[in-house]
């Protein structure tokens, strides 16, 4: 397989996965993924990502409850058919995903000596997103699925995980073996939102 074709396949087949098999992920597989993602781009080579592997069942349950509260509130924001459709969506795979990772950004670390962050301090958080995206493709290479949960109140998650106050939640990731693979996003298959033509997003100046 040539590298271009291979990366294109990764991008085409990467999905936000919410339906997992409960089979475990071998520790060395997770280790390799996290090691590779640690080479992601970061502003000033600051590597500001902080990876919290959530293993404690009690903490997992608290985070799932936090998701449920945020999701119920979000559901209240829709009406009629859209509300019905929202209620029918499966938006997170807490029930089965064997690996839970909370990804944080340390906002005022020493590493990188603030290069590239003075006018755009958000570059630190963006560097942590680059970690997540690299991890996502690396997981896909191994046939592993990743679901990025953002329907959470960060302040609740921070408290449940007892993280330092200078850490910002970037996302809560559920990782495991997917029940099935699809080229079309689940939100499109469910009739929530399809992709739209890219030309509408292109401008010239």
Among 113, 166, 181, 191, binds a second copy (CB under 8 A): 113
Q: Alpha-carbon Rg of the chain, whole angstroms? A: 18
123-152: contacts with a second copy (CB under 8 A): 123, 125-126, 129-130, 132-134, 136-138, 141-142, 148, 150-152
3-state secondary structure 87-129: HHCCCCCCCCCCEEEEEEEECCCCCCCCCCCCCCCCHHHHHHH
Position 108 contacts a second copy (CB under 8 A) = no
Position 72 contacts a second copy (CB under 8 A) = no
170-199: contacts with a second copy (CB under 8 A): 170-171, 185, 187-188, 192-196, 198
Position 107 contacts a second copy (CB under 8 A) = no
Among 54, 173, 174, 175, binds a second copy (CB under 8 A): 54
Rounded-to-integer distance, Cα 121 and Cα 166, Å: 14
Smallest distance, a second copy to C-beta of residue 104, A: 9
CA–centroid distance for 50 within its chain: 14
Position 112 contacts a second copy (CB under 8 A) = yes
Q: Quick one: which H or E segment has residue 146?
A: strand 145-149
Smallest distance, a second copy to C-beta of residue 107, A: 13
155-174: contacts with a second copy (CB under 8 A): 161-162, 169-171
Q: Name which of 89 and 96 has its Cβ closer to a second copy.
A: 89
Token pair in block for residue 88: 């029918």
Smallest distance, a second copy to C-beta of residue 44, A: 6
User: Are 173 and 75 spatial neighbours (Cβ–Cβ below 8 Å)?
Assistant: no
Position 26 contacts a second copy (CB under 8 A) = no
Binding marks (x or -) toward a second copy, 6..25, rule CB under 8 A?
xxxxxxx-x-x---------
User: Are 193 and 42 spatial neighbours (Cβ–Cβ below 8 Å)?
Assistant: no
User: Are 84 and 75 spatial neighbours (Cβ–Cβ below 8 Å)?
Assistant: no
Q: Provide the β-strand partners of residue 106.
A: 167
SS3 call for 176: strand
Q: Name which of 40 and 97 has its Cβ closer to a second copy.
A: 40
Among 17, 25, 52, 144, binds a second copy (CB under 8 A): 52
Rounded-to-integer distance, Cα 205 and Cα 203, Å: 7
């Amino acid at each position: 397989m040539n590298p271009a074709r291979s990366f294109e396949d990764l991008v085409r087949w990467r999905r936000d996965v919410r339906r997992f098999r409960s089979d475990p992920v071998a520790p060395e597989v997770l280790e390799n993924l996290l090691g590779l993602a640690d080479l992601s781009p970061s502003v000033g080579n600051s590597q500001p990502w902080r990876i919290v592997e959530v293993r404690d069942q009690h903490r997992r349950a608290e985070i799932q409850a936090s998701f449920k509260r945020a999701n119920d509130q979000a559901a209240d924001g829709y009406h009629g058919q859209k509300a019905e459709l929202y209620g029918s969506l499966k938006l997170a795979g807490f029930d089965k995903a064997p690996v839970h990772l909370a990804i944080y950004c340390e906002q005022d670390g020493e590493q990188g000596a603030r290069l590239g962050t003075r006018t755009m301090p958000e570059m630190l958080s963006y560097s942590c997103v680059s970690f997540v995206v690299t991890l996502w493709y690396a997981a896909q290479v191994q046939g592993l699925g990743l679901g990025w949960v953002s329907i959470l109140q960060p302040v609740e998650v921070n408290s449940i995980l007892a993280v330092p106050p200078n850490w910002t939640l970037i996302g809560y990731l559920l990782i495991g073996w997917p029940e099935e693979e699809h080229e079309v996003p689940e939100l499109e298959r469910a009739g929530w939102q399809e992709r739209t033509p890219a030309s509408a997003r292109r401008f010239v100046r």
